[in-house]
Amino acid sequence: MDSVDESQRTLYPYVTGSSVVAIKYKDGILMAADMGGSYGSTLRYKSVERLKPIGKHSLLGASGEISDFQEIMRYLDELILNDNMWDDGNSLGPKEVLNYLTRVMYNRRNKFNPLWNSLVLGGVKKGQKYLGTVNMIGINYEDNHVATGLGNHLARPILRDEWNENLTFEEGVRLLEKCMRVLLYRDRSAVNKIQISKITEEGATVFPPFSLKTYWEFSAFKNPTVGAEGSW
């Protein structure tokens, strides 16, 4: 009797990316993520691109397991190819792509074989800006600004205070840089190599990576346990 191989599943993520932060601005969508890839708690990779254009109208950012993100990109490449083959003058917009991703994530969750990612999907089609997110079990929502990972706890309070719908491109970039700087200070998985991308009616642009200006001379950074009870 032939032996049957056991099913292989991602039981726990191995190489992961940290937070993605995205906002609507006056002309479209802005998205930011660092380029770190953590092998457990080790920052093993420093040039992992996690922001990808999807078709003509959408931009995708992912945190979580990098190999599962690559699998999602294969699904999306096939989706866009099949859409283009119709050659009917229409193309999938960001809302349709996020609905597709929600079905994929929920389907895999129901098979107890989830894709270990949180995804951010933004885009512009026919003048309408769209920004939403979906997590590894298919929970999704849309908003004027979204974030994954620790960004949900550290970046979104900043965005709630400072975001407005008439932000220019330069103001939006400064706001995202502020969020990414806070995450760099507070998230052990963050790395100081940031990528920002935008998508407008004209299409998507992923800008070259850069480093943020930082300041590490705060007294709390120099001696974080001073005055703490029971500290060494």
Q: Is 102 a catalytic residue?
A: no
List the Cα angle 162/165/169 in 5-degree steps. 85
List CB contacts of 175: < 8 A, sequence separation 6 or more: 23, 158, 159, 162, 163, 167
Spatial neighbors of 5 by CB under 8 A, at least 6 apart, are none
Element of type H or E holding 142:
strand 140-142
Q: How many residues in total does the chain contain?
A: 232
- Active site residues per annotation: 10
